[in-house]
Amino acid sequence: MKLNKKNPTVSIIIPVYNRKKLFFRAYDSVMNQSYDDYELIIVDDGSSDSFHKKLFDIMKHNYRVKFIRHSNRGTALTLNTGISAASGKYITFLDSDDEYSKEHIAKRARYMNKNKNVDIIHSPAIMIGKEEDMYVPDVRNRKRLIHLNDCVLGATIFGKKEAFYKLDGFRNVFSYDSDFINRAEKLLNVTRVDYMTYFYYRDTSDSVLTKFKKEMNAK
Protein backbone atom coordinates (compact mmCIF):
# COMPACT_ATOMS: atom_id res chain seq x y z
CA MET A 1 0.00 0.00 0.00
CA LYS A 2 1.26 3.47 -0.91
CA LEU A 3 1.37 5.92 1.98
CA ASN A 4 -0.06 9.40 1.57
CA LYS A 5 2.62 11.75 2.91
CA LYS A 6 0.73 15.05 2.61
CA ASN A 7 -2.76 16.40 2.85
CA PRO A 8 -4.66 16.33 -0.45
CA THR A 9 -5.74 19.53 -2.16
CA VAL A 10 -9.35 18.37 -2.66
CA SER A 11 -11.64 16.31 -0.43
CA ILE A 12 -14.51 14.66 -2.32
CA ILE A 13 -17.43 13.53 -0.16
CA ILE A 14 -19.97 10.92 -1.28
CA PRO A 15 -22.96 10.33 1.03
CA VAL A 16 -24.42 6.85 0.56
CA TYR A 17 -27.67 5.24 1.60
CA ASN A 18 -28.63 1.87 0.07
CA ARG A 19 -27.07 2.52 -3.33
CA LYS A 20 -25.30 -0.78 -3.92
CA LYS A 21 -26.33 -0.91 -7.59
CA LEU A 22 -25.37 2.69 -8.43
CA PHE A 23 -22.57 3.66 -6.08
CA PHE A 24 -19.72 2.25 -8.13
CA ARG A 25 -20.69 4.36 -11.16
CA ALA A 26 -20.06 7.40 -8.99
CA TYR A 27 -16.93 5.85 -7.48
CA ASP A 28 -15.44 5.01 -10.88
CA SER A 29 -15.99 8.56 -12.11
CA VAL A 30 -13.86 9.81 -9.21
CA MET A 31 -11.13 7.26 -9.90
CA ASN A 32 -11.09 8.35 -13.57
CA GLN A 33 -10.47 12.03 -12.85
CA SER A 34 -7.61 13.71 -14.72
CA TYR A 35 -6.80 15.45 -11.42
CA ASP A 36 -5.31 13.12 -8.82
CA ASP A 37 -4.51 15.27 -5.77
CA TYR A 38 -7.63 14.31 -3.84
CA GLU A 39 -9.04 12.11 -1.11
CA LEU A 40 -12.41 10.40 -1.34
CA ILE A 41 -14.53 10.31 1.81
CA ILE A 42 -17.49 7.92 1.64
CA VAL A 43 -20.05 8.40 4.40
CA ASP A 44 -22.58 5.58 4.80
CA ASP A 45 -25.81 6.91 6.28
CA GLY A 46 -26.87 3.61 7.85
CA SER A 47 -27.25 1.50 4.69
CA SER A 48 -28.65 -2.02 4.96
CA ASP A 49 -27.62 -3.33 1.52
CA SER A 50 -24.01 -4.26 2.40
CA PHE A 51 -22.56 -2.22 -0.48
CA HIS A 52 -19.42 -1.58 1.59
CA LYS A 53 -18.18 -5.18 1.37
CA LYS A 54 -16.82 -4.65 -2.14
CA LEU A 55 -15.56 -1.23 -1.14
CA PHE A 56 -13.46 -2.68 1.68
CA ASP A 57 -11.58 -4.83 -0.83
CA ILE A 58 -10.85 -1.75 -2.93
CA MET A 59 -9.69 0.28 0.07
CA LYS A 60 -6.93 -2.22 0.79
CA HIS A 61 -5.13 -0.90 -2.28
CA ASN A 62 -6.28 2.73 -2.44
CA TYR A 63 -4.95 5.10 0.20
CA ARG A 64 -7.12 7.93 -1.11
CA VAL A 65 -10.36 6.36 0.13
CA LYS A 66 -11.80 6.90 3.62
CA PHE A 67 -14.97 5.19 4.84
CA ILE A 68 -17.24 6.39 7.64
CA ARG A 69 -20.48 4.75 8.76
CA HIS A 70 -23.11 6.11 11.12
CA SER A 71 -26.80 5.65 11.90
CA ASN A 72 -29.34 7.12 9.49
CA ARG A 73 -29.32 10.93 9.82
CA GLY A 74 -30.25 12.26 6.39
CA THR A 75 -28.13 13.80 3.64
CA ALA A 76 -27.28 17.18 5.18
CA LEU A 77 -25.92 15.75 8.42
CA THR A 78 -24.13 12.99 6.52
CA LEU A 79 -22.34 15.62 4.42
CA ASN A 80 -21.34 17.41 7.62
CA THR A 81 -19.75 14.20 8.88
CA GLY A 82 -17.65 14.13 5.72
CA ILE A 83 -16.72 17.80 6.09
CA SER A 84 -15.50 17.16 9.64
CA ALA A 85 -13.24 14.36 8.37
CA ALA A 86 -11.91 16.27 5.35
CA SER A 87 -8.23 17.22 5.25
CA GLY A 88 -8.18 18.94 1.85
CA LYS A 89 -7.78 22.63 1.11
CA TYR A 90 -11.03 22.43 -0.86
CA ILE A 91 -14.17 20.37 -0.27
CA THR A 92 -16.71 19.16 -2.81
CA PHE A 93 -19.39 16.50 -3.19
CA LEU A 94 -20.83 13.77 -5.39
CA ASP A 95 -24.24 12.14 -4.99
CA SER A 96 -24.00 8.35 -5.00
CA ASP A 97 -26.26 8.00 -8.07
CA ASP A 98 -24.48 10.67 -10.15
CA GLU A 99 -21.06 10.95 -11.78
CA TYR A 100 -18.30 13.38 -12.81
CA SER A 101 -16.86 13.93 -16.25
CA LYS A 102 -13.09 13.40 -16.40
CA GLU A 103 -12.20 17.11 -16.02
CA HIS A 104 -14.70 17.94 -13.28
CA ILE A 105 -12.28 18.37 -10.37
CA ALA A 106 -9.43 19.76 -12.48
CA LYS A 107 -11.54 22.64 -13.79
CA ARG A 108 -12.72 23.64 -10.33
CA ALA A 109 -9.34 23.35 -8.64
CA ARG A 110 -7.77 25.41 -11.42
CA TYR A 111 -10.45 28.09 -11.10
CA MET A 112 -10.06 28.37 -7.32
CA ASN A 113 -6.27 28.51 -7.56
CA LYS A 114 -6.50 31.37 -10.06
CA ASN A 115 -9.24 33.25 -8.19
CA LYS A 116 -7.92 33.37 -4.63
CA ASN A 117 -10.64 35.81 -3.51
CA VAL A 118 -13.44 33.33 -4.30
CA ASP A 119 -14.57 31.15 -1.39
CA ILE A 120 -17.23 28.91 -2.96
CA ILE A 121 -18.34 28.03 -6.48
CA HIS A 122 -21.28 26.02 -7.77
CA SER A 123 -22.58 25.18 -11.21
CA PRO A 124 -25.40 23.78 -13.35
CA ALA A 125 -25.24 20.15 -14.43
CA ILE A 126 -25.94 17.86 -17.35
CA MET A 127 -29.43 16.53 -16.62
CA ILE A 128 -30.24 12.93 -17.46
CA GLY A 129 -33.85 11.79 -17.45
CA LYS A 130 -37.28 12.84 -18.66
CA GLU A 131 -38.00 16.56 -18.94
CA GLU A 132 -41.04 16.29 -16.66
CA ASP A 133 -38.76 14.97 -13.93
CA MET A 134 -36.61 18.11 -14.07
CA TYR A 135 -39.16 20.09 -12.06
CA VAL A 136 -38.95 20.06 -8.27
CA PRO A 137 -40.69 21.90 -5.40
CA ASP A 138 -39.62 25.52 -4.96
CA VAL A 139 -38.10 26.08 -1.54
CA ARG A 140 -40.02 29.36 -1.26
CA ASN A 141 -43.35 27.75 -2.15
CA ARG A 142 -43.42 23.96 -2.11
CA LYS A 143 -46.70 23.86 -4.04
CA ARG A 144 -44.90 25.46 -6.98
CA LEU A 145 -42.47 23.56 -9.21
CA ILE A 146 -39.30 25.03 -10.69
CA HIS A 147 -36.75 23.63 -13.13
CA LEU A 148 -33.53 22.19 -11.76
CA ASN A 149 -31.59 24.60 -13.99
CA ASP A 150 -32.88 27.36 -11.73
CA CYS A 151 -31.84 25.57 -8.52
CA VAL A 152 -28.66 25.31 -6.49
CA LEU A 153 -27.35 21.78 -6.96
CA GLY A 154 -25.61 20.85 -3.75
CA ALA A 155 -23.28 18.26 -5.21
CA THR A 156 -21.73 20.88 -7.53
CA ILE A 157 -20.64 23.05 -4.59
CA PHE A 158 -16.84 23.37 -4.39
CA GLY A 159 -15.25 25.57 -1.76
CA LYS A 160 -12.50 26.35 0.69
CA LYS A 161 -12.59 24.18 3.79
CA GLU A 162 -12.63 27.22 6.07
CA ALA A 163 -15.76 28.49 4.29
CA PHE A 164 -17.68 25.36 5.30
CA TYR A 165 -16.51 25.75 8.89
CA LYS A 166 -17.45 29.42 8.96
CA LEU A 167 -21.01 28.47 7.97
CA ASP A 168 -21.05 25.46 10.29
CA GLY A 169 -21.75 23.17 7.35
CA PHE A 170 -25.23 22.34 6.09
CA ARG A 171 -28.41 22.76 8.09
CA ASN A 172 -30.85 19.84 8.29
CA VAL A 173 -33.63 21.57 6.33
CA PHE A 174 -35.45 21.04 3.02
CA SER A 175 -33.22 22.32 0.20
CA TYR A 176 -30.20 22.37 2.50
CA ASP A 177 -28.03 23.23 -0.52
CA SER A 178 -29.86 26.44 -1.47
CA ASP A 179 -30.01 27.33 2.23
CA PHE A 180 -26.23 26.92 2.39
CA ILE A 181 -25.58 29.11 -0.65
CA ASN A 182 -28.01 31.78 0.59
CA ARG A 183 -26.16 31.96 3.89
CA ALA A 184 -22.78 31.88 2.14
CA GLU A 185 -23.64 34.79 -0.14
CA LYS A 186 -24.18 37.02 2.90
CA LEU A 187 -20.72 36.35 4.32
CA LEU A 188 -18.46 35.05 1.58
CA ASN A 189 -17.52 35.44 -2.08
CA VAL A 190 -19.72 32.95 -3.98
CA THR A 191 -19.61 32.48 -7.76
CA ARG A 192 -21.67 30.36 -10.14
CA VAL A 193 -19.50 28.89 -12.92
CA ASP A 194 -20.80 27.39 -16.15
CA TYR A 195 -18.83 24.16 -16.09
CA MET A 196 -21.09 21.40 -17.41
CA THR A 197 -19.09 18.51 -16.02
CA TYR A 198 -21.49 17.02 -13.45
CA PHE A 199 -23.95 14.35 -14.59
CA TYR A 200 -27.16 14.63 -12.58
CA TYR A 201 -29.40 11.58 -12.93
CA ARG A 202 -33.12 12.20 -12.46
CA ASP A 203 -34.09 8.66 -13.40
CA THR A 204 -33.33 7.31 -9.91
CA SER A 205 -36.62 6.34 -8.28
CA ASP A 206 -35.39 6.61 -4.69
CA SER A 207 -33.74 10.03 -4.86
CA VAL A 208 -34.72 12.53 -2.16
CA LEU A 209 -36.25 14.95 -4.67
CA THR A 210 -38.22 12.21 -6.42
CA LYS A 211 -39.69 10.99 -3.14
CA PHE A 212 -40.62 14.50 -2.08
CA LYS A 213 -42.25 15.24 -5.42
CA LYS A 214 -44.36 12.07 -5.15
CA GLU A 215 -45.48 13.07 -1.66
CA MET A 216 -46.52 16.50 -2.92
CA ASN A 217 -48.47 15.02 -5.83
CA ALA A 218 -50.31 12.65 -3.49
CA LYS A 219 -51.68 15.52 -1.40
Mean pLDDT on 37-57:
88
In a domain, 72, yes or no: yes
In a domain, 5, yes or no: no
Compute the distance between CA of residue 43 and CA of residue 21 in angstroms, rounded to an integer: 16
The residue segments making up the domain with residue 61 are 10-218
- For the chain, the domain total comes to 1
Q: Are 180 and 157 in contact (CB under 8 A)?
A: yes
pLDDT band at 216 (very low <50, low <70, confident <90, very high): very low
pLDDT tens digit sequence for 170-198: 999 989 999 999 999 999 999 999 999 99
In a domain, 1, yes or no: no
In a domain, 4, yes or no: no
pLDDT tens digit sequence for 106-142: 999 999 999 999 999 999 999 999 988 888 887 777 7
Q: Are 14 and 96 in contact (CB under 8 A)?
A: yes
3-class SS at 120?
strand
Decide which of 47 and 156 is more confident.
156
3-class SS at 139?
coil
In a domain, 105, yes or no: yes
pLDDT tens digit sequence for 62-84: 889 999 999 989 999 999 999 99
In a domain, 186, yes or no: yes
Strand partners, 45: 70
In a domain, 70, yes or no: yes
In a domain, 168, yes or no: yes
pLDDT band at 2 (very low <50, low <70, confident <90, very high): low
Q: What is the CATH number of the domain that holds 165?
A: 3.90.550.10
Q: Which amino acid is at 51?
A: F
